[in-house]
Amino acid sequence: MVSVSSPGRCLMLFVPLPFVVALLLLILLIQMIRRSGDNETNPFFMAVVAVYVVQSVVIGLRWGYNMLEVLPVQGVLAVIVATLSWLSFDDLRDERPLSERPWLLLHVVPTLIIIGLVAFWPAPISLFIILVFTGYGMALNRLAWGGPDALGSSRLDGVINSYRALQITAFAISASAVVDVIISLDFAETGGIYSGLIVAAGNVLALLILGGAAAVAGSSRPSADEIGGRAVEETVVMVSPSEEDAEIAAALDHLMQSRALYRDVDLNLNRLARKMGLSARQVSVAVNRVKAMSVSQYVNDFRVKAACRLLTDTDEAITRIMFDAGFQTKSNFNREFLRVTGMSPKAWRARSAVANKSSATVIRLAG
C-alpha cells in the first residue's frame, strides 16, 4: 500500500504482492540475459522465468484488483510454466539438437488442450491443471532421483548447481499441484474466501524458492558435508563393483591421465561416454561403484589436482589457472577446490610458497 499526497486529498495506491514478485523476477531475467553472452544459458529456463513474470502480473490483476477477465490467461500460463520447467532439465539430459528430438513437440499438447478448454469447456480446467502439474512434478522428481549424473549434457564444471536447481524445481512444481488442490477445495467449500490469501502465500513461497535457487547458483562455498569429502547432493548407491566396472574405471583413469580430458571446460558425461564407446549409464555406474563418487566429482578431482600443481610450480594468475585446469566459473572452482583440499586456491599457493622456501633453505644449509 503506497500513499500519495496531493492538495486537498490523499490517494491510496494499492500494489499487489505478485507485482513485487514480477519485478524481482524481471531483474533476475535481465541478469540471466546479460550473463548469457559469456556463458551457455539454457533458453528454456529463461523462458520459464519470463512466463512467470507475466503470470505474476496476471495473478496480481486477478487477486489484487479482482479482474476476472484474466482468469483464462492465468490457466494457460500455469500449464506453460510446468511444461517449460520439464523441458529445461530434459535439455540437460539429452544433448542432441532439438531438430533430432521431434517428440518434444508433444509437450505443446497440454497447452493446446488448456486453450481448447478455456474456449469451449471451462468446467474441468482446474482438474486438468492439477493433472499437468502432478505429471511434470513426478517426471522431474524421477529425473532428480538419478542424481547429478542424470544430467548427462550438463557441463561437469557446473552440474551440481544444475542438479540443485532440478531438485528445487521438482519441489516447486509438485507443491504447485498441492496448492491448486487446496484452492479447488476452498472454492468448493467456501466459494473461494481464502483463495486470495493462498495465492499470495504461494507467490511468496515461489519467490523464496527462486531466490534460493539463485543463491545456490551463485554460491562459491560448499556445505560442511562437501568439505568433508562428499557432497550432500551426490546420490551414490554403494554396490560392490563388478569386473566390468573395474575395467571401465581403469580405462577412464588412463584416458583422463593420458589425454587430460579434464581440461575441456565443456566436458560432460555424454561426451565422455562417447569417447569411451560406452553408454553414459555404464560410465556413471562404474565411477559410482569403483570411486564412490559421481562423475562430476571424479573429473573435478583431476582438475583440482592440476590446479594445485600449477599454483605450486608457476606464478600464473589464479584465474588463468582456473581455466587451464578445466573450470569455467570462479564459484565452481572455489567450491571444488575447497571440497578437495580444504582450503582456498589463494591459501594453497601461500602455503606452498612457504613450504618451497623452507625446502630451499634446508637444501642450501645442507650444501
The domain spanning residue 259 has which CATH number? 1.10.10.60
Q: Which residue has the higher pLDDT, 182 or 355?
A: 182
Report yes or no on 115 lying in a domain.
yes
Task: For residues 44 and 241, give the distance between their C-alpha atoms in angstroms, rounded to a whole number.
Answer: 37
Beta carbons of 117 and 124 less than 8 angstroms apart: yes
Instruction: Verify that 52 and 107 share a domain, yes or no.
Output: yes
pLDDT at 232 over 50: no
Burial of residue 45, with CB atoms counted within 10 A of its CB: 0-12 exposed, 13-18 middle, 19 or more buried: buried
Reported as a pLDDT band with limits 50, 70 and 90, residue 330 is confident
Instruction: Verify that 171 and 51 share a domain, yes or no.
Output: yes
What pLDDT, on a 0 to 100 scale, did the predictor assign at position 91? 82
Kindly list the distances between the CA atom of residue 53 and the CA atoms of 46, 129, 203, 223, in Å, as whole numbers in the listed order: 11, 19, 11, 31
Instruction: Verify that 53 and 137 share a domain, yes or no.
Output: yes
Reported as a pLDDT band with limits 50, 70 and 90, residue 234 is very low
Give the end of a domain, one of 204, 219, 234. Answer: 219
Report yes or no on 227 lying in a domain.
no
Q: Which residues pair with 4 in a beta bridge?
A: 11
Report yes or no on 160 lying in a domain.
yes
Rounded to an integer, the average pLDDT of 347-366 is: 66
pLDDT at 146 over 80: yes
Mean pLDDT of the chain: 79
Report yes or no on 250 lying in a domain.
yes
Instruction: Verify that 170 and 104 share a domain, yes or no.
Output: yes
Q: For the segment 73-131, what is each residue's pLDDT rounded down to a tens digit?
A: 988 998 998 998 898 888 888 777 777 788 888 999 999 999 999 999 998 998 999 99
Report yes or no on 8 lying in a domain.
no
pLDDT at 193 over 50: yes
Report yes or no on 228 lying in a domain.
no
Q: Which residue has the higher pLDDT, 282 or 229?
A: 282
Report yes or no on 50 lying in a domain.
yes
Give the end of a domain, one of 184, 219, 254. Answer: 219
- List the domain range (segments joined by +) for residue 53: 15-219
Instruction: Verify that 46 and 85 share a domain, yes or no.
Output: yes
Q: Which residue type occupies 285? A: V
Those residues whose C-beta lies under 8 Å from the C-beta of residue 27, and which sit 6 or more positions away, are: none
Instruction: Verify that 60 and 135 share a domain, yes or no.
Output: yes
pLDDT at 142 over 90: yes
Instruction: Verify that 159 and 87 share a domain, yes or no.
Output: yes
Give the end of a domain, one of 171, 200, 219. Answer: 219
Instruction: Verify that 110 and 196 share a domain, yes or no.
Output: yes
pLDDT at 343 over 50: yes
Report yes or no on 233 lying in a domain.
no
Total domain count for the chain? 2
In the chain, the percentage of residues whose pLDDT exceeds 90 is 26
Instruction: Verify that 84 and 134 share a domain, yes or no.
Output: yes
Task: For residues 179 and 173, give the distance between their C-alpha atoms in angstroms, rounded to a whole number.
Answer: 10
H-type alpha helices, 94-194? 109-120, 125-145, 159-190
Reported as a pLDDT band with limits 50, 70 and 90, residue 3 is very low
Q: For the segment 258-297, what is each residue's pLDDT rounded down to a tens digit?
A: 998 899 888 889 989 988 999 888 999 999 999 988 899 9
Rounded to an integer, the average pLDDT of 40-46 is: 70
- CA angle, residues 271, 275, 277, in degrees to nearest 5: 110
Instruction: Please report the sign of the dihedral spanned by the C-alpha atoms of residue 201, residue 219, residue 340, residue 275.
Output: positive
Instruction: Verify that 74 and 205 share a domain, yes or no.
Output: yes
